[in-house]
Structure 1
Amino acid sequence: MLMKYKQIITISLIMTVLFLSACSLTGSSDDNDVKIASMTTTESKIMANMLKLMIEHETDEKVELINNLGSSVVLHQAMINGDANISSTRYTGTDLTGALKEDPVKDPKKAMDNVQKIFQERYDQTFFDTYGFANTYAFMVTREMAEKHHLQKVSDLKDIAKDLQAGVDNSWVNRVGDGYKDFVKKYGFDFKDVYPMQIGLVYDAVEAGKMDVILGYTTDGRIASYDLVVLEDDRQFFPPYDASTLAVNELLEAKPKVKAAIEKLIGKISTEQMQKLNYEADNNLVEPAIVAEKFLEEHNYFEDEEGGKKDD
C-alpha cells in the first residue's frame, strides 16, 4: 500500500524545494529581522501570531511572519536555510523521528530532553520547554461511521480497514519509528488507500465523505465542530507530541529580549485551552491573529506589574 502514495510524496517534495527557493530569492526582509515560520495548521498560525505580538510588545524588533509551510519537514528546512529563525510550533515526537531521525521515545520528559539536547548540539538551535499542551496524533471518524461499525479504538478498524480510504498528514507517512510502516506493524492491518495531504485538509475530507478515516491532531477545534469521534490509541503507538517554540541560538544571543518574550509563554497554555483557541478560529471563523491577541489580553500579558497597560 506504500507504493500508492509515492508519487504524491515526490510532488510534495518538489513543491517544498520550489517554495523554499522562492523564499530565499525574495530579499524582502533584513537578515536581522525576527522571522517566525508557521505551518498550515490553525494552531501553528495562532501560536505564530502570539509570539509576534509578545515579541513586538516586549521589544523594538520588527517581526515577519512566514505562513503556510506545508509540514514540519518544510519548517526544519526553512530554519536550516536561514529563511526563518523561529518556528512557532514544533513537537517533540515529530521532530525526534522526523527532523532528527532518532528512535521514538514514549516517555514525555525523556523525549523533551532528547530533542533539546540534539537540536543544541547538531543545529545550534534552542527547543524551548513546552507551551503546556500536547498535540498528539489520533485516528478519527465521523460519528455516523463510528456508530455504524461500533468503533471506539484504533484496533476496531482492523476488520474493515481493507475497504477504507485514509487521509493522513503528509509529514507522517514516511517517518521512521512512528510513521505508516510502523503503524501497520504495530496494529497488524493496512488501509485500502492512504492519501497524504496537508493536515488542515483532512478534516474537511472526512466531513465531506471523501475519506473514511483520518489521522488528525487532538487539539484541533474541528473535532468538536464536525462532531468527529477520536479513536483510542489502544496499543499506545504514538509517542508524546509536546508543543514548543524552536529558535536559532544566533538570534537569541543577539536579541536576549526576544528570548525573554518567548519564555513568557512556557507552560501557559493547556491542551484544553488550545483546542478552544483552534475552535474559535476554525468554527467561528475568527482570524488567528485576533484569537491570539484576545488570549493575551484576557490573560493580562499586556499589563504591567501595577495592573495598567504597558506603554507601546
Structure 2
Amino acid sequence: MARLTLTLAATVSDRSQPVLDGRIPIAGCDVVALPGEAQDIFRRTLADKAFDVAELSMSSYMVAAARGDQDYVAIPVFLSRAFRHSSIYIRKDRGIAGGADLAGKTIGMGQYQQTAGVWVRGILREECGLDTTRVHWRTGGLEKPDSRGERTRIRLPPGVDLQPIPADRTLNGMLLDGELDGLMLPPVPSALRTHPQRVGRLFPDYVAAEQAYFRKTGIFPIMHVLVIRRSLCEAHPWLPVEAYRAFAQAKAGALKALTQVNINQVSLAWAAADAARTREVLGDRMWAYGLAASRHEIEALLRYAMADGLLARAVTPEELFHPSTHSLADAD
C-alpha cells in the first residue's frame, strides 16, 4: 500500500511537537509539517480548506458543523485546553463586583464566536446569573487595529448587540479611554500592566475561581480540536484512528515529562511539584482525549454556543467526530 502524504498545520506545543517533527509518526503517512500561529491556521482552514489535518478552534468547528459544512471531520484530540476565568478584565470604576454586574455594560472581545468567549459567556450565565443578551458586545483588535471580523460567518438572533469597534481603534485603547467597561479575551491587555489603578480582573484570584469551577463541574475547557479533510477519511478509513493514536502518544509523553526529576525536561524549577498539585485538582487524567472522557465538556460547550445563538441547529457530540473514533480512549 502506498504511503499517504499529509499536510499537518498545528501550533507548536509539547502535545504536538513530536508529531510535527516526526518523532512520533502517523502510521502509513508521510507528514509535511506546517507549524504556525493559531489564528492564521484557523482562518486558512476555514476559508481556504488549506490543510489535510489541522488544529482548529472548537467553537468555529461546531458553528461550521451545525450549518452543514462537511469539508472536515474532527477526531477527539484536544490540542488546547484552558480555564478562562482569567480572561475577563474590567474597569475598576464601573461598579463591577461580580459577573452579574456586567449587565448593561459594553464589553470588548476579539471575535464573538471565539471559543474562549463562548466558554466565558456560558460560565457567566450559568455560574454568575448574567443575562448575556443585556451586554453590549464590541469586537476588534486588542493592541493593533483589526477589522477582519469573524473568522467564520455567523448569524445571531435578534436581541444580541454585536458591533465592531472603529477600524482605527483598539480594544485596549478604548478600555483605557473609558469607552469600554471591560474586555473578554485570552491575551492579557497591556492596560492591566500600565494602568493597574484603572484596570483589573473580574476574578482577581482566578486560579481559585477556576479550580472551584472544575471541582463543581468537572470541566477543563476545550479550546482546539484536530480535524481531518473528510474526503481523505472516506478514501482512507484507517486514517482517523491512526492520527488519534499518534497524538495520544505524543500527549502521554508530554505529561510524563512533567514528572521527571533526575533531569528536568521542562524549564520550570518545580515542574514535578507543580504537576503533582495540578493532578490533585484535575485527577490522574489531566488532559483527556477521547469522546467518552470529554463528553460532559463537549456537551457544555454545545449548550453554551446554542445559548449564544451561534449554532444553526442542535448538534450532538457524536456528530462532531469521525465514527471510527467514538470509542477510543487515551490508552488506545
Q: If the length of structure 1 is used for normalisation, what is the TM-score?
A: 0.43
Structure number with the higher helix fraction is 1
